[in-house]
Amino acid sequence: MPRSPLKSVAIVALAGLALSACSAVDRLEHIGEAPALSPITNPTAAPNYQPISMPMPPMMPPDTHLTNSLWPVGAHSFFHDPRASRVGDLLTVNISIADAAKLSDTTQRSRSNADTAGVGNLFGLQGQLARITGADPSKLVNMNSTTANQGAGSIARSEDINLTLAAVVTQVLPNGNLVIEGSQQVRVNDELRNLQISGIVRTEDITSDNTINLAQIADARLSYGGRGQITDVQQPPLGQQLYDILMPF
């Protein structure tokens, strides 16, 4: 038997209330307490962690020397390189974002149609057609339509972020590129700021002081947010969010 729309809405509403109740219970258990810091863990042991797999050129085994050469294959200098190059090494990531975007679109469209049709002579039967239908054969169809559409949209965005954090090398790809992940948490006045960064870097882009810029990180994933009393006030309650989703008007 198909489920009625009213019953479906009731089920969704009950699920939303249950979710809201769970959130409220969790907040009541920690009322008056500052947000707890996350423990330091191995990022590769996270449930959603996935090693990076990308197309790679064939590489010679490490520490392989060419004939009559003192340089190992893939070496960047004759002396030891202090920059991050192995799993577990650390490097500093400089995050500087100063983006500004402004878009404006305007669309306008109009159309007008007019159609007129009639039968002036129908095999001499136009008189009988007029008596049967009561209509004037010369004015059978007279249609007209007019449509007009107009739309306008604009986007204005400005972002300015300057941060620095340390990341750890979690994987070394066959071509020497490094997969990095880093996180940083700062708690001030019961408000927790959480910063996370991940991506792929080239060892050639790492500077001599073991730093790299965000613009040089491929497939960069940056998350900057937090939780706490201020964040709770800024975010609408779960019931209001559910209402906004289900409200058709």
Residue recorded with tokens 């409220």 = 24
Q: What is the pLDDT of residue 224?
A: 86
Q: What is the pLDDT of residue 59?
A: 63
Can you tell me whether residue 96 is helix, strand or coil? strand
Domain ranges of the chain: 103-154
Q: What is the pLDDT of residue 188?
A: 85
Q: How do the pLDDT tens digits run along the chain, 249 residues long? A: 555 656 665 665 666 556 555 666 666 676 667 777 777 778 888 888 888 776 766 665 655 555 566 665 555 555 666 788 889 899 999 998 888 888 888 888 888 887 776 666 666 666 676 677 766 766 666 778 888 878 888 888 887 888 899 999 999 998 889 999 999 988 888 788 889 999 999 999 999 899 999 999 999 999 888 887 777 777 777 777 777 777 776
Given its phi and psi angles, is residue 192 left (phi above 0), alpha (psi -120 to 50 degrees) or beta? Answer: beta
10 closest CA partner among 187, 219, 242: 242
Query: Is residue 190 within 8 Å of residue 35, measured between CB atoms?
Result: yes
Can you tell me whether residue 241 is helix, strand or coil? helix
